[in-house]
Chains A and B, each alone.
Chain A
Amino acid sequence: MLQTGQQQVIIVPQTVNAPVPKSAASHTVALKARLQTLLAVPVATSVALAVHLCLPNNELPLEAHLYSQFLAAVLGAALAADIIHFIWPGLRRWMRHMCPIFAAAILTLAGWELITGILRWLPLPYFPAPAAVLQSMVDDRALLFDSTWHSLLLLLSGYVLGVVIALITGVCIGWSTRMRYWGMPLLKVVGPIPATAWIPLAMVVSPSTMFSAVGLIALAVWFPVSMLTISGIANTRASYLDVARTLGAGRWYLIFRVAIPAAMPSIFVGLFMGLGTSFLTLVVAETVGVKSGLGWYVSWAQGWAEYGKVFAALIIMAAFFSTIMTLLFKVRDRVLGWQKGMIKW
């Protein structure tokens, strides 16, 4: 910083109104930061391309094209963004935030290729190089898409069913002491059993595996959501209820316009926990019973020892689940916008 400041002082004296060295220094710092933003992704992509193309690769050369095309496309997009960002401030802000993490992701790809394809530190059939994974993802895209679609349907029907039942039981048990007396023991005894432990029974009882899978996911969601709904409702600040009563509120106003909104932060904690357990139950149910979906795809591909497809499905699963998680966060941000100091996803 000091050095750059001195440089400026040496250069500047030609002009009469020399800028203060300090601001000149901060200007150079800003320029450096901007250069870092602009160069991060292109440099990382070039490194990945170099690793892929220049180092001796032991895998099938056939698969190489797609991956290098992919990297070239990323490089092209990064360079295009570098140009556009000069005229689009929104993109500039976004890039300043996102470029480092993109660069890190691409370098991770390069590292992965280095370890698997080139140095061969990991046993091959189980750990394919990124090029092979990308190739299987594209080759098997129809079946992957179909699996994702079925997973989505199963997940949503189970999750929504579980949440609806949990909200009803949660509000009833949280609000009424009599319901709490009868409902709480059931919840305490049945709730903690992991939903997957019911699989043997569910297979026998229900008419179809699809049906039992929906029930299992709903059960997995039901426990955390109803538990946190109960605690949210039961812990509604007494003074809110007192105020509402003196404003003329009847029972329904107290439940739906005071207790439930007051419990919302707690309910959302339950919804997130329920979403986590629903992912787990979905994948287990698909692995052992249901004949479709990403969980099924993973175990099917493993059966054929096609680990490229296994990794492809895992990557899609990661994107799929985190998209759903992000959507739930968006809903929460909308619903709980009134809260102070919320953590953003």
Chain B
Amino acid sequence: MVTTASTEGSSLRILGVSKSFPAPGNAAVHNLALDTITLSVAAGELIAIIGPSGCGKSTMLRLVAGLDAPDSGELWVGNDPITAPSAERGLVFQDPNLFPWLTVSRNIQAGLIARGLLHKKRPEVNEFMRLVGLEAFAHAYPHHLSGGMAQRVALARALINHPKVLLLDEPLGALDAFTRMRMQDEVLRLWQARRTTMLLVTHDIDEAIYMADRIVIMTPHPGRIERTISVTLDRPRQRNSPEFLRLRSDILEQLHFAGNAKGETNGRTSLDNNVDVDSVGKSNKPPFSPPDEPTTAPIMSGMTGTQD
């Protein structure tokens, strides 16, 4: 289902990256936020990263963006090492973080102005405003926009730089369920049009399955990649197809394990291998039979967002 036009995206390699932060209140103790993470992403791939809070998802995005530097390890985009923030790696947060003193159209222009390209690329501003369907709001200020509209502006603002990698840090997390589903389609449409490599951090398992080529499941304390799952369902995906639901319950179990057994090392993974999914995770732990009762651990309650 890959109708590749031209790929704007670039491959991304994260090689043995670790990052720790001083513990709050005690600078002598360091918490390991990321523990030798290795992940390689193909050009034009859409990766979803899920996991409980504190598993280092956002830290990883900040490292890829170049906003923070790793303690050890390397990050590469294509053939270039990541050393500083750059317009070729766009970042969209959960809060759209639009500049409130600029109108919608000026917010979208920000990247062009910052790079001194406005006079050359001015027509693109309207093009991107059309792309996210906000021409009518060109001269509105951000406080007049709804959450979904503001997030669309934030997307357009990041995309106008034609980034090789787009980093999405729970971009739809603050939206209501209906807006979120519409925005998921919108992001997919943009992705399919441009084939930008995307890293999507999310709390929403359905969102991950609905959108991603691969799902990276992370565990906290220290932040590690627990498992990587390829999603091979055909696009557009049906949110209530049996395969979708099966995959969903598998991931729930996986996270249940991750939530309860943090710090444990005796590994119990649960993934049916006969699902429409092949597991390419680095995990070398043996599969085991699913627990008796369906997963309703407290950690799940916030993660089952958009089920219709």
Contacts and interface: CB of A to CB of B under 8 A. Distances in A.
Given A239-B93, A253-B114, A340-B143, A261 B101 contact: yes
Interface stretch (A240-248, A313-321, A325-333): A240-248
B91 A242 contact: yes
A108 B141 CA distance: 44
Given A245-B85, A248-B86, A338 B100 contact: yes
Contacts of B87: 246-248
Contacts of A253: 113-114
A80 B307 CA distance: 69
B65 interface: yes
Interface in B129-187: 141-143, 157-158, 161, 167
B13 interface: no
Residues of A contacting B: mostly: helix
A315 to B, nearest CB: 39
A242 B67 contact: yes
Interface in A207-262: 237, 239-240, 242-250, 253, 257-258, 261-262
Interface of A: 237, 239-240, 242-250, 253, 257-258, 261-262, 264, 336-340
Contacts of B115: 247-248
Shortest 7 CB-CB distances between A and B: which pairs? A248-B87, A245-B85, A247-B111, A249-B114, A246-B91, A261-B101, A340-B143
A245 B67 contact: yes
A244 B91 contact: no
Contact of B89 (A240, A244, A246): A246
A243 B93 contact: yes
A243 B168 CA distance: 12
A242 B110 CA distance: 13
Given A243-B91, A246-B67, 10 more contacts: A237-B97, A240-B97, A242-B91, A245-B67, A246-B85, A247-B158, A250-B114, A253-B114, A338-B101, A339-B100
A257 B99 CA distance: 10
Contact of B95 (A239, A249, A262): A239
A262 B101 contact: yes
B223 interface: no
Nearest to A260: B101
Contacts of B51: none
Contacts of A258: 99
Contacts of A249: 110, 114
Q: Which of A257, A258, A261 has the most CB of B within 10 A?
A: A257
29 contacts: A239-B95, A240-B99, A242-B65, A242-B85, A242-B97, A244-B110, A245-B65, A245-B85, A246-B66, A246-B89, A246-B158, A246-B167, A247-B110, A247-B157, A247-B158, A248-B86, A248-B87, A248-B114, A248-B115, A253-B113, A253-B114, A257-B110, A257-B113, A257-B114, A262-B99, A264-B101, A338-B100, A338-B142, A339-B143
